[in-house]
Amino acid sequence: MIILKNRDEIRKMRESGRIAAQVRDEIARRVSPGVTTGELDAAAASLMASMGATSAFLGYHGYPGNICISIDSEVVHGIPGGRRIELGQIVSLDIGVVFDGFVGDTATTVMVGVTDPEVIRLVRATEMALAAGVDKARAGNRLGDLSHAVEERVVNAGFSVVRDFVGHGIGRKMHEDPQIPNYGTPGRGPKLKVGMTLAIEPMVNMGEAAVEVLADGWTVRTMDRKPSAHFEHTVAIGEDGPEILTVP
């Protein structure tokens, strides 16, 4: 069941989204060679607490971190720990917070001194695919219109979308209906309505779309070990079009 949000609920989601975005941007600034993923995770927890929020991820189905940190060929759900960031890597940060009963969810991919033009192009294409999906989050469109816009941008750039993991509705819970694939057919799927709140999150691989879950039960990695990028916004569908809620 797709849960439509009223104006007061959207207002509260703006606050949770704002906090998630501030944490995202601050942690992104701290990503540098030599820093451990565990240190970034601890910093994120401290920032959330300072703003009266909690992690939406910690303990969720047993997840052990406050945020997800995925490096290079890791797609999503990387567990923070003792691993040190290295020059030339791409680091995907997935941030989820709970504030006043509502969830804000956002992600970005940080390039750490990357010079490889194909990796740079991958990251930029993923960010632009997110923008294309957000633009289609308008009342009257179909979910397939949004999903197709993401896929089209990715495929035209010569990359592939992950099909095993998708975006989702969001609100009082991290995952609500509908699921939001990053691939689809225009004109198909549920009609988008004012009050819907969506976590749109392209996960884009440089090589093949196939992924696998590692032995830790969480970390998702590309099967061909080529890099993957991830961007995400929480978006509300309003009378005048999409409103990105995960802005600082």
Taking only the tens place, the pLDDT of each residue in 32-77 is 999 999 999 999 999 999 999 999 999 999 999 999 999 999 999 9
Look at residue 166 in the predicted model and tell me its pLDDT.
Answer: 98
Nearest to 196 by CA among 115, 118, 140: 140
What pTM was computed for the model? 0.97
Extents of the domains making up the chain: 7-244
Taking only the tens place, the pLDDT of each residue in 107-137 is 999 999 999 999 999 999 999 999 999 999 9
Rounded distance, CA 134 to CA 247, Å? 14
Query: Omega into 242 within 30° of 0, i.e. cis?
Result: no
Q: What is the CATH number of domain 7-244?
A: 3.90.230.10
Measured from the Cβ of residue 188, the count of other Cβ atoms closer than 10 Å reads: 12
Model confidence at 158, in pLDDT bands (50, 70, 90)?
Answer: very high
- Cα-based distances in Å from 22 to 17, 160, 230: 9, 29, 18
